[in-house]
Amino acid sequence: MNELYKLVKYHAGLYYDKDSPEISDAEYDSLVRELKQLENDYPQFSRNDSPTQTVGGEASSLFAKVEHVTPMLSLDNVFTHEELVNFFDRINAEGFVCEMKIDGLAVSLIYEDGIFVRGATRGNGRVGEDVTENLMFVDAVPKKLINAPAGRVEVRGEVLMTNERFNAVNAVRESKGEKLFANPRNAAAGTLRQSAKNNHVIAERGLDIFLYYLVDAERFGITTQEGALMWLSSHGLPIQSAYKFYETLDGVKDFISHWQNERYKLNYHTDGVVVKLNDITSWPEIGATSHAPRWAVAFKYPPEEARTRLTNIEISIGRTGVLTPVAILDPVTLAGTQVSRATLHNADEISRKDIRIGDIVRVRKAAEIIPEIIDSDKESRTGTEKIFTMPGKCPACDSEIVRIADEAAYRCPNRASCPAQLSESLKYFASRDGMNIKGIGRKLAEKLTASGKIHSLSDIYTLTAEDWMTLDKISTKSANNLLAELESSKSRPFVNLITALGIPDIGKNTAGLIINHFGNIDALMNASEEELSRIDGVGEVIARSVHEFFRNDDNRKMIENFRAMGFNMGGEILRVSNELEEKIFVFTGTLETMTRDEAGEKVKAMGGRVSSSVSRKTDYVVAGENPGSKLRKAESLGIKIITEQEFLTLITTSVE
């Protein structure tokens, strides 16, 4: 028991306080269950400081501490239908709400007269961290409630990272040789708990939030959990749609069974179902332990693992030259999909786990998203297995591989002409946040670089229709459409070009900060590292990346090629009147003269803000052709609705 106390506390500290777990959730749950069982069997040896009697972790010294007026408790877990029946028997009541268990960072949001004034993490349940400033950079957190009641409102929920964003963030980290986030929960927690000087990272990573608990609900006339969820939604607070009321245990079992496989279709990670007594008025009578309410429980799904053979280890090369070993597996089905590849992170990880080509391995999906190798079955080895070593030369260009002294990553230094790096760079260049060139994806990017027709990103603009038709065996019409896309991309906003260049550590938001300071490409290329670092939200690491990129002769030559082709290279820094400063715009429908992203960049360049949803805080809704539900909501709230032409007039007349 003493050994388990230390072990559980160690892993809880890694999970809650450092957002860097070493074991899976299932392995951690198993340790806690074993400790709880021992405490039940041998109560004379139980300790008051047992981790089974505590909630979460401790508040970080990076943030001011916040004391929760109403404690933020955890939930007890059950893993079998028998344990679920025991929970129902203890409650001895009917009527339950089932909600998907969100794997995120628990937070409390406080509103005064409808205005968001404070946000805090759960911490140890009694004292959390004040993360108000960071939550301001999470677009999904409403800054003002719809039809807000007077006085104080406290709501609770989970800050999360969607599967789509999680994959994108890890792809960027992998390309830079950084350690991957273990799962979306730790990615969300690590992102939100950035120091204030790094809150641009929060905006870049696009966190989300779901709310599920209204504190002191009865004060608002709410007596059921189902009613509380509807109340939250009616006031503009995002809730998940995957919830349902059931009168009896049979209905709850049906919900759990239905979502065991259907959960993989959700765009966020969930590892179970939360079952709550619907009648809120009964909660105080049923009570709680020191760490969890007795009127709710979390049913945890078993983790999915499989055994298969690792047939080979291939090398993947990212756009910054990082070499990542990838396991090639005999196909196996996991979490509803067929898996034949899994990341091995880096050579050190392979050595630490002693994984060899030909091994029988255990594979799982980390947070049911990224396939990963847990370990290998040493007992089943036949002696034919091969120890893996990193190549001495780049498999794509034959350059000598280098290892950065303070990194686990191996890199190909041939940034200028390595076809693998060029292929990845081209894919990123054509992406939506970059030059938004429809038709250029991974397959075509690989064919382009393999053909030898291009040696720089700017070369794709020199190809003819015949070149494209020969390359990908496409029709004349498709080739001409691609040429039109390329021509159109030249007039994309300047921020798209800077983003598309793929400068390490630079996403679209950071690119926006930089160009709003310098205004045009010449000022940016000639900026010193010190000048770059003084921009609010940039810092020394990003400043160094930008400065080094523009000191490279090949990169400067590429920029000059773009200039000669007529690309948008920026202009003067817009000076704006107070009329549009901090005004919030929402776009709906199809615009005729520009894309909605381009319109949004014009707003941001003038000091305004763009939102994806309409609320009472919205100042303007710009309606294009075939507007959606945002228009109806704007009409119901009395928000000013303008046409595309009125929008163009507005931003033109607002410039001094």
The catalytic site residues sit at: 101
Contact 103, 269 (CB under 8 A): yes
CA 367 to chain centroid, in Å, comes to 13
CA distances from 451 to 445, 467, 474, 484, 618 (A): 10, 10, 16, 22, 50
CA distances from 11 to 4, 5, 7, 8, 104 (A): 11, 10, 6, 5, 17
d(CA 415, CA 419): 9
Contact 404, 177 (CB under 8 A): yes
Which residues are bridge partners to 153 per DSSP? 111
> Hunting for tokens 């968001």 — which residue is that?
116
Instruction: Tell me the DSSP string of 12-40.
Output: HIIIIISS--SS-HHHHHHHHHHHHHHHH
Three-class secondary structure of residue 245 per DSSP: strand
Kindly state the DSSP code that residue 177 receives in the 8-state scheme.
T
How open is the CA angle 349-355-358, to the nearest 5 degrees? 150
3-class DSSP string for 505-534: CCCHHHHHHHHHHHCEHHHHHCCCHHHHHC
Three-class secondary structure of residue 633 per DSSP: helix
Instruction: Tell me the DSSP string of 402-454.
Output: EE-TTSS-EE---TTT-HHHHHHHHHHHTSTTTT--TT--HHHHHHHHHHT--
Tokens of 126: 């009694």
Kindly state the DSSP code that residue 555 receives in the 8-state scheme.
H
Kindly state the DSSP code that residue 638 receives in the 8-state scheme.
T
d(CA 167, CA 144): 30
Tokens of 47: 């300790």
Cα end-to-end span (Å), the chain: 72
d(CA 465, CA 408): 43
Single-letter residue type at 183: N
Which residues are bridge partners to 338 per DSSP? 333
297 CB-side CA count, 13 A: 21
Instruction: Tell me the DSSP string of 94-141.
Output: --EEEEEEE-SEEEEEEEETTEEEEEEE-TTSSEEEB-HHHHTT-TTS
Q: Are strands 337-343 and 356-357 parallel, antiparallel or unpaired?
A: unpaired
d(CA 577, CA 566): 30
Ramachandran category for residue 625: left, alpha or beta (phi over 0 → left; psi -120 to 50 → alpha)? beta
> Minimal CA–CA distance to 187: which of 175, 179, 195, 197?
179
d(CA 639, CA 632): 10
Task: Print burial letters for 383-414: b (CB count within 10 Å at least 16), e (below 16).
Answer: eebeebeeeeebebbebebeeeeeeebbbbeb
Contacts of 637 (CB under 8 A, 6+ apart): 146, 614, 615, 616, 618
